[in-house]
Structure 1
Amino acid sequence: MSKEKEKETMEAKWNQMPREEVSEVRGVVMLKSTCDTWNKIWDFQAKPDDLLISSYPKAGTTWLQEIVDMIRNNGDVEKTRRAPINVRNPFLERINLPYVGVTRANDMPSPRVLKTHLPVQLLPPSFWEENSKIIYVARNAKDNLVSFFHFQRMNKALPDPGTWEEYFETFLTGKGLWGSWFSHVKGWWEAKDVYPILYLFYEDIKKNPKHEIEKVMQFLGKNLDENILAKIVHYTSFNVMKKNPMANYTFVPEMNHNVSPFMRKGTVGDWKNYFTVAQNERFNEIYKAKMADTTLSFSMDY
């Protein structure tokens, strides 16, 4: 089969795929498959040597996963390409896709690296009880909104986001998947004062990747030399990861990269290409009110 024909066949299959339905867990919108098996997720048994990578969706999760894997494997590129990223780091609350979820996590030998988008109040309590290390990465709300909108457009494993205008309202009102961005970033920000959580910012990693990767390295108790560090910076850069089939999700049939690439732009400030003046004013007003009770602050641009 020619590449063009293969592409058409994949496109046709994607078009025929149904979208996921949603439901709620304690007032937070989640995928129905997650809600239907919530007890299994909530009862998940974490271990003291687990590392959990957490974020609101499309905030730099895959980036951190690759950085962590490179650090743990001392910069060995071949080892980090041993398997697709969703196989290496099971996605706790995703139940109905292969190689993900608590079943995959339970089958893994320790030490495990796991991934979640759960808000802090829905994290399985065993993570707190076992004092497992957690890395949380946060991204400014405006860019996060744009990125998640495009991700839902191309991913049939998620509900249709609707039009840009509709999704803008969904995001602002906290009625989208995994709940309110505001509650998510603030909840994890507060938790870092009590539990072993390294709280990172997408914008900081873009601005000074070496410095932020060093933070992760220290958090993991690793001491790698400058050459290895430089190698990790290079291989976890956006342009390199975008071409890496073990990190860019090109193998996942639910994702149509012709609609929008999984790794789309990886920039700071792209929201300016989407927000109207009126939307920006409305967003700023709500943002100011929602963030008034926190010390947490974000860069909306470089």
Structure 2
Amino acid sequence: MDIVNVDETINDQLQKDYRAQKGGFVQVGEKKWFYPIRYRKLAAQFKNFEVRPDDIWITGYPRSGTTLTEELVWLLTHNLDFDKSKEVSLSSRVIFFELDMLLNENTEKEQKFPEVLNTCKRGRNHLNKLNEDKQRRVIKTHLPFELLPPDILKKGCKVIYVCRYPKDVCVSYYLLQKQNQFMDFGAGFEKYWRYFLEGKSIFGPYFEHVKQGFEMIGSKNFSFVFYEEFKKDTRSYLMKLSEFLEITLSEKEIEKTENFIDFDNYRKVNNITVRNTNNELVPFVRRGKVGGWKDYFTEEMNKQTDEWIEKNIKKIGIRYPQQEE
């Protein structure tokens, strides 16, 4: 699949906005998947990664609710080990498959904080860590299916695609990339919103990503879920996952898991963080609010986004939970 550098003029502007991504960006294949330039070095490793039949892959566009789903899946496949969940970070228990791609080498060389250098070191070793892991692996990825190992479903892996309403995704992803020192997005929300719609938000285009997940519905060992389902009825979401993973829970286990994963409670217990540009720890899991986009969109932005959404959902055939209410 062709990997081409983004047009030079556009690339210059993108580097000014994504200040930690020195060297620029590439676009991949006919869909023009948008990634940091380091993807070029790692593409073959991602595609040729050796999967195992008992792997569980959790995917979806960034900020779509994958984090809470990862935690639930890890608990379900590890005998509801709540103590370990509190003691060992989620990022150590569920490996972010392509993290290395996001860690810019030039920015890393300029890094003054040892904590960040340690994060970079761990990120460079993620694929090796997965290969060395003897336990059942739960793997997180934001890559679309066409860029992942081709035999994921053929080998019997379980795959869960998490989807979320695009306006909420856009706001949540903007806030993450603005505060995360590995992105350091320096422009305002309106500019980021335009990048998001144009497919120039990292891991974009959004609707092409969703389309590849939506078209997999009905495949063996594949489940497509909405983050809004989790927010509306956590128990039903938990039961849907446990049934998919072929795990039976007692009523007591259901109640305990439901309480543990309650959004506000989970934020307090697990306190997942990232480091901002001042090397301060900031929450990775934010409010998780459905409809939070209303605090950021102007009337004109909302009108344009609605037209963009309507055009794409007609092509795909998808209906978001908000549209059914």
What TM-score results when the alignment is normalised by the length of structure 2? 0.81
User: Which residue does the alignment assign to 2:244?
Assistant: 219
One-letter code aligned to 1:23: V
Cα 1:82–1:72 change in 2 (3 A) is: farther
Matched ranges for 1:191-206 at <5 A: 191-206=216-231
* CA offset digits 1:169-216 (Å, max 9, x no partner): 011111111111111111101012334211110001100000010010
Question: Would you say the 8 A contact 1:90–1:99 is kept in 2?
Answer: no
Mean alpha-carbon deviation: is it higher for 204-213 or for 150-159?
150-159
Matched ranges for 1:121-136 at <5 A: 121-136=146-161
Identity of aligned residues (%): 30
Residue 35 (structure 1) shift: 2.9
Cα 1:156–1:52 change in 2 (3 A) is: same
User: Which residue does the alignment assign to 2:304?
Assistant: 282
Which of 73, 76, 86 matches 2:91?
Answer: 86
CA distance in 1, matches of 2:282, 2:314: 34
One-letter code aligned to 1:235: F
CA distance in 2, matches of 1:67, 1:35: 33
Cα 1:140–1:260 change in 2 (3 A) is: farther
Number of residue pairs matched? 282
User: Which residue does the alignment assign to 1:28?
Assistant: 33
Cα 1:131–1:138 change in 2 (3 A) is: same
User: Which residue does the alignment assign to 1:230?
Assistant: 255
Residue 126 (structure 1) shift: 2.9
User: Which residue does the alignment assign to 2:68?
Assistant: 63
Residue 65 (structure 1) shift: 0.8
Cα 1:25–1:254 change in 2 (3 A) is: farther
Cα 1:60–1:159 change in 2 (3 A) is: same
One-letter code aligned to 2:61: Y
Unaligned 5+ runs, structure 2: 1-18, 104-119
CA distance in 1, matches of 2:255, 2:241: 14
CA distance in 2, matches of 1:207, 1:255: 34
Residue 143 (structure 1) shift: 0.4
Q: Does 1:114 align with 2:161?
A: no
CA distance in 2, matches of 1:35, 1:206: 37
Q: Does 1:42 align with 2:47?
A: yes
Residue 104 (structure 1) shift: 1.8
Mean alpha-carbon deviation: is it higher for 230-239 or for 73-82?
73-82
* CA offset digits 1:280-300 (Å, max 9, x no partner): 111111111111122311134
Residue 243 (structure 1) shift: 1.7
Q: Does 1:249 align with 2:272?
A: yes
CA distance in 2, matches of 1:231, 1:290: 39
CA distance in 2, matches of 1:289, 1:102: 38
Residue 82 (structure 1) shift: 4.2
What RMSD, in angstroms, separates the aligned Cα atoms of the two structures? 2.2
User: Which residue does the alignment assign to 2:5?
Assistant: none
Unaligned 5+ runs, structure 1: 1-17
Question: Would you say the 8 A contact 1:75–1:229 is kept in 2?
Answer: no
* CA offset digits 1:72-112 (Å, max 9, x no partner): 23333112234211111111111243444322211211311
Mean alpha-carbon deviation: is it higher for 77-86 or for 217-226?
77-86
